[in-house]
Amino acid sequence: MVGSMDTSLFDTLLDTLNYNVTGWLVYDSTNDNAEAKTVSDFDKVVYNDYGLVLADGIKRYGDADITITLNLTMDNLGDGANYAFFNGKSYVMPKVPVLYSALTTGSAANDAKIYGTDTNAFVLSKGDVVDIVLNNDDTAKHPFHLHGHNFQVLWRSSESEGYFNHSNVTFASVPMRRDTLVVNPMGNFVIRFVADNPGIWFFHCHIEWHMDAGLAAVMVEAPFYLQEHMTIPQNHYDVCNASGTLTAGNAAGNMVDFYDLAGENKEVAPLPAGFTPRGIVALAFSCVAAVLGLASIVWYGIAPVTAGRVAI
């Protein structure tokens, strides 16, 4: 316990503690490891890995069957906290995990609506070639991670280039592959993958508090295939039951009408436009108090000087 530790020893430990933990990705063990850098060093020197050409030579996948455009913004909601948004929606976890909804809603599983108003769900068919176009309206860079796939990086803009414009770019013929990619401030990127891994795959910012603030989307990949081939182990249901998590129906747990989302989890209400009734009342009382205060000052100022007042 720190409270019982010798103070001088504790100070020594703090002075010698190495906050920078570094690992090396080694391709050739005969070479020396590069000198370790601190996080601040990486902020100063940015290596643009977009230009890397893969040794396996896998060419760019064919034209996209579906293009998902995600516009990233940051803003406050009605509770005063800052949230992150894709296309004006801040991700909220549904009452029923998306996987269970996909497995229990029959033909409706192919409709993104049943997965929730603020779940940012996109349904993909098995074998689709999928492009994700991400436009960053924020002045900070963000690392984005896609579960379930190593995607091709067709394009990444420099800073402050705005929204993606296909007519201004040429896609790489042998794109590098990643599962995580940084988008530059006020920039954009385009990634491509083949929907050949049926499942429910999260796409999210890898800065944890940004993901918690809603910067996430869900790829519902081949839900009909999942219904035919996937069986959930009983211990998964046991965990859900123990935590009170629903395991069937749409995002709200409705098993009768999959398009009735009454009672679903939703994002915090937005800040009201203009004045609310409470705000109007508060403003009115504030104005009255201000006028009375000014009146008392004026009255005091014009009152005649009487005995007992001392001039300074």
Would you state the pLDDT for residue 4?
52
Show the tokens assigned to 2: 């720190």
pLDDT digit string, tens, across residues 179-229: 999 999 999 999 999 999 999 999 999 999 999 999 999 999 999 999 999
pLDDT digit string, tens, across residues 241-280: 999 999 999 999 999 999 999 999 999 998 777 666 666 6
CATH number at 57-243: 2.60.40.420
Residue with tokens 């959930």: 232
Domain residue extents for the chain: 1-46, 57-243
pLDDT digit string, tens, across residues 27-60: 899 999 988 877 677 666 667 888 888 889 999 9
Would you state the pLDDT for residue 53?
87
Closest by CA to 117, choosing from 277, 252, 305, 303, is 252
Q: What percent of the chain has pLDDT over 70?
A: 89
- At 2, the pLDDT band (50, 70, 90 cuts) reads very low
Residues in the chain: 312
pTM across the whole model: 0.78
pLDDT digit string, tens, across residues 280-305: 677 777 887 777 777 777 777 776 65
Residue 221: beta bridge partners? 124, 199
Distance CA 284, CA 270 (A): 24
- Averaged pLDDT, 146-153: 97
Give the contacts of 105 (CB within 8 A, at least 6 positions apart).
114, 249, 250, 258
- At 1, the pLDDT band (50, 70, 90 cuts) reads very low
